[in-house]
Amino acid sequence: MSARKALVGMSLIAGLKQGTFRAIMQMAGNGMRVRTEVFQDVLICAPTLRAELSRFALMHGMQVAQIAACNRLP
């Protein structure tokens, strides 16, 4: 079984107070929910985690852009 990793709330990493999407888990599995205030406090106290999550968000955005570009071609 492969591990699926995802993160909802990437806007919090960028310093925004609220996300623009609603997340719904559509498959059986495990998930974790962290209150916004707690997550923001952790990001302040853990700069290495913040850097890793920032890289994750950047790479995710680049992947989405690549998929959109490839789907644009006939």
Domain positions in the chain are 10-72
Residues 20, 11: contact at Cβ < 8 Å? yes
Instruction: Give this prediction's pTM.
Output: 0.73
Residue 17 has what DSSP assignment?
S
Other C-beta atoms closer than 10 Å to the C-beta of 64 total 10
Residue 65 tokens read as 């852009």
How do the pLDDT tens digits run along the chain, 74 residues long?
456 677 788 888 888 887 777 888 888 888 888 888 898 999 999 999 999 999 988 998 899 999 999 988 76
